[in-house]
Chains A and B, each alone.
Chain A
Amino acid sequence: MSRLLSRVGAAALGSLMGASLLATPVMAQQTVTVGAIEILSGPSAAYGTAIKGGLELAMDEINAAGGVLGGKKLALIVEDSAGNKDQAVNAARKLVGRDKVPVVIGPTLSNEMFAVGPVTNDRKVVTIGTSTTAKGITELGPYIFRTALPESDVVPVTLKTAKEKFGVKTIAMMYANDDAFSKSGFDSMKAAAEQLGLTIATIETFGSKDADFSAQLTKIKGLNVDAITISALVEPISGVVLQARQLGIPASVRFIGGNGANSPKLGEIAGAAADGLLVGSPWFIAKKGETNEKFVSTYKQRYGKDPDQFAAQAYDTMYIVAKAIDTAGAADSEKIREALYKTDFNGVMGPFTFTEGRDPASNEGVVVLSMKNGRFEILE
């Protein structure tokens, strides 16, 4: 019986794959299709969904304003990686091999980019990370770009501000040791702390899925530090912050977060416990300026909630891609790549250009935010 089932299954597999291939959509001459790989299900889906929101909002605006290449519509295919590296690679292969997109936006996590990058780069397809901030991303190849400011550019600003504004001298450092993004962020934090001459009292680690941090936090409490840096994804950060206050670490001991903290989820989960947490961000919801204000209100109207940094970065990236397509004059990956180098764009993130290494050129726009009552405020 199982043999029959297996045989039936194999036949089904074969015919399904065959059918789906034959059904490859004929590329309409009136559309330029761009691909995206984001986490739309599972944990961390919050990031991917926000990014998708930003991309689609920008795309619709671009199309309403006349599209690209003199009237062609911009289209987007978004594949779900579910945070799974292999699925991300399969999605990339599908976008490049079947849908033949000239540009791939994403994936969401640095982990995924390390797997996907070599594949798309090999095929000479431009790949742009909007949220991948670990070290070594753009070094993967000449077709890999990123519009997300690497942690190594943001974190020094945050730490410097903490030192100057709050007289922070001794810190404890915490990070999730089983995740590439968190570890990489920690490396940047440590380097920045050493450069600023801060004393590191202790370094504690935890797992991204852990729920109990009492051991590490009790130890830190006993060391009387001025601040605690933390590099992890938003869910463990929320857990740490909550438990820290539960254990009686006073609010005067601030947390300093990496990019993972840059999510409204922090306020939702941790509430008042997160008050005073500092994080550097290239974007801030209440940033002044017509472009940003319009973006925030349109996003809110369309999706019913505030945009976050991930949405904002994706929004800008879509515009950057559209402009590059126009500059390139064709939906050709090679030409778009050259056009990207010439990017000179002013969006919700502020003025944007690429470096020779295909990273964002300036970290001038970085602001330090502080959490209060579940929302981020600019630190005055």
Chain B
Amino acid sequence: MLSQQLVNGLVLGSTYALFALGFTLIFGVLRVINLTYGFYFSIGAFVALTVAREFGATIWVALPVGALSAGVVAVVADWILLTRLRRAKAGELASLMVTLGAVLALYSLMAVFIGTDIQRFPFGFVDNTAIEFGGIRISLVQMLIVGTTFVLVAVLFLLLQRTKLGLMIRALAENEDAARLMGINVGLTVAAVSFLSGTLGGAAGVLIGLNFNAIQPFMGEHMMLRGFAVIIIGGLGDIRGALIAGVLLGVLEVLTAGYISSNAKEAVAFTILVLTLWFRPVGLFGRAQAKRA
């Protein structure tokens, strides 16, 4: 049973990590607490759902369509909401509030048009089979999630470290003014980060919505609190951190529920979060940042 629980933890943890990837990117690079991220998650899932239901698309079509739509929405929304604040160099508080208000409005708007009932992908959208070996059982979707998470982490890492765009993003994260002075097109870079982050969120929405068979407008909101925990424990802006923290959290939650008590499961993420903040606020991989004036 332990091995199955570990697999459960790995899968759950991958969902957390997958969700956190885009979130940590936005937070770490743009220094904005972008609560609308949860909305991109929901939108990605819904677009994919619609495409699957109305046009009979398979997952190989629905997933990228959902993800990319979320990316586009992200660019637009971030531009509307955050440009002004960034120009005025308003603090994190302002971005927190504006995105909070926006996401509240957006979720509710979505609920008005789509309804709050839980929906699911059509039966048979993805093959339901699972493989069993050595007392472990894992389904295709679950393997897809774990696989995608690891692949995305690798791709993102390479993008940030090896490409010109990645360089621009990292420069922006270090110091926006200096980057601008060096000739980096800040507006374009920011848009790129928004797009990336939104796409990642959307992809997460599709896969996670598929795994748990539960798609409803507020699904992003539920993940957000865990998302905070993951990105802080992992270190803001650090991709590897998001992966490791996510998986770690997933495994710990599952083991707590399985071997201690399912009552305590809820508290695991937050307890670790609080402990991290008290004793190692930068997280596993964060760099100690000078406090922004």
Contacts and interface: CB of A to CB of B under 8 A. Distances in A.
Interface string A198-234: 0000001111010110111011011000000000000
Contacts of A185: none
Contacts of B8: 212, 214-215, 218
A46 B117 contact: yes
A92 to B, nearest CB: 23
Interface centre among A43, A46, A215 (most CB of B within 10 A): A215
Contacts of B117: 45-46, 265
Interface residues of B, number: 37
Interface in B140-160: none
Nearest to B212: A211
Contacts of B118: 235, 238, 265, 269
A205 B256 CA distance: 12
A45 B116 contact: yes
Interface in B1-28: 1, 4-5, 8-9, 11-12, 15
Contact of A216 (B1, B116, B139, B258): B258
A215 B139 contact: no
Interface in A233-261: 235, 238-239, 242-243, 246-248
B85 to A, nearest CB: 16
Contacts of A271: 123
Interface string B218-236: 1000100000000000000
B31 interface: no
Contacts of A204: 257, 262
B259 to A, nearest CB: 8
Interface size range of chain A in the complex: 20 to 34
- Secondary structure call for the A interface: helix
B137 A247 contact: yes
Contact of B1 (A206, A209, A219, A265): A219
A363 interface: no
Contacts of A177: 263
B137 A248 contact: yes
B165 interface: no
Interface in B108-131: 111, 115-118, 120, 123, 128, 130
Given A177-B263, A218-B1, A246-B130, A43 B116 contact: yes
A42 interface: yes
- Secondary structure call for the B interface: helix
Interface string B259-276: 000110110000000000
A239 B213 contact: yes
Nearest to B112: A41
Nearest to A211: B212
Contact of A214 (B12, B128, B132, B256): B12
B1 A222 contact: yes
Interface centre among B137, B218, B258 (most CB of A within 10 A): B258
A214 B222 contact: no
A243 B120 CA distance: 14
A22 to B, nearest CB: 30
B94 to A, nearest CB: 14
A238 B256 CA distance: 23
A231 to B, nearest CB: 14
A41 B4 CA distance: 39
B203 interface: no
Given A42-B116, A45-B116, A238-B118, A216 B214 contact: no
Contacts of A219: 1, 5, 257-258
Interface centre among B128, B132, B212, B218 (most CB of A within 10 A): B212
B220 to A, nearest CB: 12
Interface string A265-281: 10001111000000000
A219 B12 CA distance: 16
Given A46-B117, A218-B258, A248-B137, A239 B212 contact: yes
Nearest to B266: A207
B238 interface: no
Interface centre among B253, B258, B262, B263 (most CB of A within 10 A): B262
A214 B214 CA distance: 15
Interface centre among B9, B213, B253 (most CB of A within 10 A): B213
B216 interface: yes
B1 to A, nearest CB: 5
Interface of A: 41-43, 45-46, 177, 204-207, 209, 211-212, 214-216, 218-219, 221-222, 235, 238-239, 242-243, 246-248, 265, 269-272
10 contacts: A212-B15, A212-B212, A214-B8, A216-B257, A219-B5, A239-B212, A247-B4, A248-B132, A265-B117, A265-B118
3 closest Cβ pairs, A-B complex: A215-B257, A214-B8, A211-B212
